Amino acid sequence: MTPPSVSDRIAFWQRLHQRLGKLSNRIDATAQAAILGAVHARVPIVTLDEQSAVKLDKAKADMRLWASLQAMHAGY
């Protein structure tokens, strides 16, 4: 099985925190911490370095897109 990408893990952890937030009236902070710890053992939390690398890759892809669009329209 292929491990999830950093982008997939970012989305996963965002959804998990949203879901736990909605359950905060039923699950106390201690139980939430235990859940997060157990999930982290299976799906590692995204590090700041990983998040920065994803943002940089996206910015580079955007730059290539805009450069190609500019080149396409340069002759008009």
pLDDT tens per residue, range 12-27 = 999 999 999 999 999 9
Same domain flag for 35 and 65: no
Same domain flag for 4 and 22: yes
Distance, in Å, from the CA atom of 29 to the CA atom of 72, rounded to the nearest integer, reads 55
Same domain flag for 34 and 4: yes
Same domain flag for 37 and 53: no
Same domain flag for 26 and 51: no
Same domain flag for 41 and 53: no
CB 11 within 8 A of CB 59: no
How would DSSP label each residue in the chain? -PPPPHHHHHHHHHHHHHHHHHTTTTS-HHHHHHHHHHHHHHSPPPPHHHHHHHHHHHHHHHHHHHHHHHHHHTT-
Instruction: Work out the pLDDT band at 30, boundaries 50, 70, 90.
Output: very high
Same domain flag for 41 and 52: no
Domain count, the chain: 2
User: CA angle, 33 as apex, 29 and 34 as ends, to 5°?
Assistant: 120
Domain that holds residue 71: 47-76
